[in-house]
Structure 1
Amino acid sequence: MEKTHQVVESVDGSIAMATAFPGHHEAVMDEDYKFLSKAIEEAYCGVECGDGGPFGAVIVSNGEVVVSCHNMVLKKTDPTAHAEVTAIREACKKLGKIELSDCEIYASCEPCPMCFGAIHLSRIKRLVYGAKAEAAIAIGFDDFIADALRGTGFYQKANLVIKQADQHGAIIAEQVFEKTKQKFQMY
């Protein structure tokens, strides 16, 4: 069954993810797809409202969303307010603890070294990401993101299950960068 994902731009210039495709109902039943889609929606939201770059993150515990966040670097004037770090901060506050070992994180893009470190330190048990870092690099983000952890063995040493989304989830995550590059300027 071929699935097609399409990002659409409305008359008012806002961007949304069109989710109507053959087998959509079955895909929504897949929790990874469902939560990754929410992270991708957050990525669009962050750019649309001018808060920051096209990155989103969702933290889930026992199949329920704890928090859903996007990049807040511009809004907070804080270079550490990435989607994953913001989500971890909010989840810790909401749950009243600093160890999130019963949680999973869904990120629209492969996390940068800082975010990966925060994921590791919070003891999140599982990371699912959509786009590879190269999608962010293609619109001007620093290639340090992709190179810093690869080949260091850090991914392998972390007590964390790491999964890139299947091809369909990865495709819709990569579209975030292509569709928002004109709306988001890094510097």
Structure 2
Amino acid sequence: MSRLSRAQQAAHDEPLDDEASPAAERPSKTQLKQQMHELQSLGEALLTLPAARVAALALPEPLQDALDEARRTKSFEGKRRQMQLIGKLMRQVDPQPVREAVAAFRLGHAQDALALHEAERWRAELIAGDDALTRWMAAHPSTDAQQLRSLVRAARKDAVPNAAPGVGQRQGRAFRELFQLLREALARAGDQGADHE
């Protein structure tokens, strides 16, 4: 076997075309590891979804069984190993529908929390002053004004002005009913707004 000169060796070692090189097409070890961690995290997020939403994804049976087993597993080490298995099984599934389902579920929770906060804010404003009642009726004309006024009056009456805030202070039935009325009205307004889009 003949020895190659340095120039020949360098020319022999260089790939003719970067695109033709198999190393250029493969992801690095770091990228592969990152992808595996992302799939494992996505599998963990699947555990937060209700069973009906997971069933709607039509996941392969081994992955579904692994998710069920992870829900039952209590020990830290057992849970960790089960999550590794789920990450491995996630490689066989198209992750995009799973990502979309998890994102939609999280968005729904965030919207629910915002709606509750808005109802609480309106309730506090309505109890604090009469100008809020006018603003509410302008924004939500379909609300039963008589029922709303009655609940606001009763909630104001239930509030004890001399009571110390904090422990032991309990709100009356009208306070809770006012919240329910506001939350339902806000939900109807949100549904109507979604229908018009």
Normalised-by-shorter TM-score class:
under 0.3
Larger RCO (CA under 8 A, 6+ residues apart): 1
Q: TM-score, normalised by structure 1?
A: 0.22
* Higher strand content, 1 or 2: 1
- Rg larger for: 2
